[in-house]
Amino acid sequence: MAWTQQEVRELKEGRYLIVDEEPCRILSIQTSKPGKHGEAKARIDAVGIFDGSKRSVVFPVKHKVLVPLIGKRQAQVLSMTEAEVQLMDLESYETFSLPILPETKDLLSPGAEVQFIEAMGKRRIHRT
Assessment of whether the complete model's pTM goes beyond 0.85: no
If phi > 0 it is left, if psi is from -120 to 50 it is alpha, else beta; for residue 93 that is left
Q: How far apart are the C-alpha atoms of 59 and 44, rounded to whole Å?
A: 8
Q: What is the pLDDT of residue 77?
A: 92
| Residues of the chain below pLDDT 70 | 1
What is the amino acid identity at position 101?
A: L
| Half-sphere exposure (Cβ direction) of 38: Cα atoms closer than 13 Å | 10
Q: What is the pLDDT of residue 1?
A: 53
Q: How far apart are the C-alpha atoms of 9 and 28, rounded to whole Å?
A: 13
